[in-house]
């Protein structure tokens, strides 16, 4: 392996990924817009969907500029193949179902720490009529289906981060460093959105710096899960599906968790988000231990 060339490709990719995305984000942000105003999305979500496609475009541009080629499957490929053989089907199913599992467990943990937040009348506050309550229990399934169908934007990120950046980092530094450095880079990529209130709002303690740190922590652990399903399936599609379903936050208990009744430090948006994501973090640690045992994920000479 030519480490100099691989390093060059990695840094060119990162320049494209950050440059193209932030060109999309910053004009809107510099105009004074925020993520949400008076409980209503500002329209920035449309720019986010566009920005999510930029890592994929960055990967394609890097491959073109460095003459790396555009192989669809195989070594150093785009990882676009789909195979259900040798148990790989399991990782496609896991990718779709897993976000529901860890979000539901996250709300269980939230309610254990703040039992007063459990509110059976909360659906009415959310203007969900009695006759429509049954729909709540189908929400996770609906989010899984819609996540798979509408995973195009998530595919844009995964084609770049897991399909290009992570394989390069793993070859250069091995899985340990790649997970940490790749997660921090992915978190920093989100910082413009964190600044305007995406994920955590703007009223949390230490805004925006604690949000910056929390975003990097989230991206490190989420990156483990996304890398795991990508490696095990040999395809970026499970990561794209998981990313899309994750972004829809599938859960039944969320409709019975009145966050206005959560008090103290647990009411801080960064703290509450990290509490809800603790089950995901535990799962990611287990997957990380599995990845460490893979010989193919050690740095190449």
Q: How far apart are CA 48 and CA 50, in angstroms?
A: 5
pLDDT tens, residue by residue, 127-179: 655 556 667 888 888 888 887 877 888 999 999 999 999 999 999 999 999 99
Task: State the pTM of this model.
Answer: 0.94
What is the dihedral sign for C-alpha 172, 175, 177, 183?
Answer: positive
User: Quick check: 125 pLDDT over 60?
Assistant: no
Q: How many independent structural domains does the chain possess?
A: 1
Q: Supply 121's token pair.
A: 């009348």
Does residue 66 register a pLDDT over 90?
Answer: yes
Q: Which long-range contacts (CB under 8 A, 24 or more apart) does 185-188 make?
A: 185/14, 186/161, 186/219, 186/223, 187/212, 187/215, 187/216, 187/217, 187/218, 187/219, 187/220, 188/212, 188/216
- Percent above pLDDT 90 for the chain: 72
So what's the pLDDT on residue 46?
A: 73
Residue where the block lists tokens 């195009």: 152
Average pLDDT for residues 185-201, to the nearest whole number?
94
Confidence of residue 24 (pLDDT cuts 50, 70, 90): confident
Least confident of 2-16, 17-31, 102-116, 192-206: 17-31
Calpha distance 1→174 (Å, rounded) = 14
In 10 A of CB 215, how many CB atoms? 26
**Which domain does 263 fall in, by range?**
3-297
- Residue 41: strand pairing partners: 36
Q: Which of left, alpha, beta for 225 (phi over 0: left; psi -120 to 50: alpha)?
A: alpha
């Amino acid at each position: 392996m030519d480490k100099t060339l691989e390093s060059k490709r990695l840094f060119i990719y990162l320049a494209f990924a950050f440059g193209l995305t932030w060109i999309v984000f910053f004009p809107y942000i510099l105009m004074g817009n925020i993520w949400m105003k008076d409980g209503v999305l500002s329209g920035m979500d449309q720019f986010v969907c566009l920005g999510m496609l930029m890592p994929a475009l960055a990967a394609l541009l890097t491959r073109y500029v460095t003459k790396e080629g555009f192989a669809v499957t195989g070594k150093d490929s785009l990882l676009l193949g789909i195979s259900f053989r040798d148990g790989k089907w399991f990782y496609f199913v896991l990718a779709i179902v897993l976000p529901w599992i860890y979000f539901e467990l996250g709300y269980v943990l939230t309610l254990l720490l703040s039992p007063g937040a459990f509110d059976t009348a909360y659906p009415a506050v959310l203007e969900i009529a009695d006759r429509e309550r049954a729909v709540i229990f189908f929400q996770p399934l609906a989010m899984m289906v819609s996540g798979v169908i509408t995973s195009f934007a998530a595919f844009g990120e995964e084609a770049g981060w897991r399909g290009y950046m992570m394989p390069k980092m793993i070859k250069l530094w091995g899985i340990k460093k790649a997970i940490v450095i790749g997660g921090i880079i992915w978190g920093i990529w989100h910082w413009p959105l964190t600044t305007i209130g995406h994920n955590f709002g703007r009223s949390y303690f230490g805004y925006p710096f604690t949000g910056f740190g929390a975003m990097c922590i989230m991206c490190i652990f989420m990156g483990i899960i996304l890398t795991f399903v990508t490696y095990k399936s040999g395809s970026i599609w499970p990561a794209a599906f998981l990313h899309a379903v994750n972004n829809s936050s599938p859960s039944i208990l969320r409709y019975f968790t009145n966050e206005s009744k959560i008090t103290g430090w647990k009411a801080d948006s960064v703290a509450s988000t990290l509490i809800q994501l603790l089950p995901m973090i535990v799962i990611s640690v287990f997957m990380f231990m599995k990845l460490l045992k893979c010989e193919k994920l050690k740095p190449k000479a």
